[in-house]
Amino acid sequence: MTRTVHALAALTVTLVRRLLREGVVLRSLAFPALLCAGAILLTVVGVTVLRPPQSVGVTAGLDTPALVADATAKGWSVTVVEDPAAAVEEERVTAATDGHTIWRKRSSTAALGVEALLRQHLKAGWWMDVSLGQATRQRSYRSNEMLLRFIGALFAMYGVVFGAGSVARDRDEGTLAAEVATAVPRWVHGTARWLASTFVLGAFYVFGVALFHSLVGMPDPVAVALHGVAASAGSAALGIAVVGRAGMAQGFVAPLSVGLVLVTSLLGWGFAANGPEQWIPIASVLSEGTPGGGAAAMSVLWGIVGIALFTWRSTTE
């Protein structure tokens, strides 16, 4: 048993190293997260640099220390204008008022903010609270999470290619035949390939989740990471299970197509439904509001089944 464990560990480490040495693999895994993160950073920088400052234009009679203090507390600046309508039209200010009328060009939130400031300044009986930051953050968090889930769907497709390709390539090169000839159980060869594919895919996906969470934040990054790792593990198991006796040079397209069809079908089910698919690897990656532990545990079962099918179908030379 000790020799089997050592053989499994050594073969898994060897396969991981081989995957990480391939530039195509590294680029395909790192590029999605880095591209999306870079786009978000450029968007933030662009909005920060190009967006005009939030300012309220007021006529001379309204320019009082109290109004200026209230506007500054809300992140606005006060600018004295002679013609409020013209100042808004020319986009010199975000919104403007003469004490009776409020002008704005685009943002209704700006108009509400100016109205709230004006009501407070004039000691009105009531005013509105237009602090929408929390709701905006929640929408942003959900958008970030869905973006990561779609990247997880991409990694699920990668998993089929990794699982099936690692078997087919080694069969063509004769590596698999040499491994099978060694004095270790046949299940070790499939297990090592499943573990190596899952580790590499899962590590890069977790890196992407951590990167996004550090940049823009998410409400539950652990759940997102678990769903993505479960999808990677489940799809790698599918790839190993469907490859059969195929090699890269002959017969590889058919099993790869079967695996990709299964993955896309599960992704479609998870995106459209909201029920038991939350526990199903691959399908769960596009489901919202679930912790991800169930799908991760189920992916281990899929791995065992995939390894058993691989051992039965494809290692007999």
pLDDT in tens, 56-76: 888 887 767 877 787 777 777
Tell me: do 154 and 245 sit in the same domain: yes
Tell me: do 264 and 240 sit in the same domain: yes
Q: What is the pLDDT at residue 134?
A: 45
pTM of the model: 0.73
Q: What is the pLDDT at residue 293?
A: 85
Tell me: do 20 and 56 sit in the same domain: no
pLDDT tens digits, one per residue of 71-102: 777 777 888 888 888 888 887 887 888 877 88
Q: Kindly give, in sequence order, each residue whose CB lies less than 8 Å from that of residue 190, ignoring residues fewer than 6 positions away.
A: 167, 240, 306, 307, 310, 311, 315
Strands across the sheet containing 77-80: 77-80, 55-58, 95-97, 102-104
Tell me: do 257 and 112 sit in the same domain: no
pLDDT < 50: residue spans in the chain? 132-136, 317
Boundary of a domain, candidates 82, 100, 131: 131
- With tokens 């099978």, the residue in question is 180
Q: What is the pLDDT at residue 70?
A: 76
Tell me: do 153 and 300 sit in the same domain: yes
pLDDT tens digits, one per residue of 8-62: 999 999 999 998 888 878 888 888 888 877 877 787 677 666 666 678 888 887 7
Boundary of a domain, candidates 131, 154, 179: 131
* Overall domain count for the chain: 2
Tell me: do 164 and 268 sit in the same domain: yes
Q: What is the pLDDT at residue 109?
A: 64
Tell me: do 127 and 150 sit in the same domain: no
Q: What tokens does 44 get?
A: 């933030």
Tell me: do 125 and 218 sit in the same domain: no
Q: What is the pLDDT at residue 177?
A: 80
Boundary of a domain, candidates 99, 114, 131: 131
Tell me: do 16 and 63 sit in the same domain: no
Q: Kindly give, in sequence order, each residue whose CB lies less than 8 Å from that of residue 267, ignoring residues fewer than 6 positions away.
A: 153, 156, 282, 283, 285, 286
Q: How far is it, in rounded angstroms, from Cα 97 to Cα 71? A: 13
Q: Which domain holds residue 75?
A: 52-131
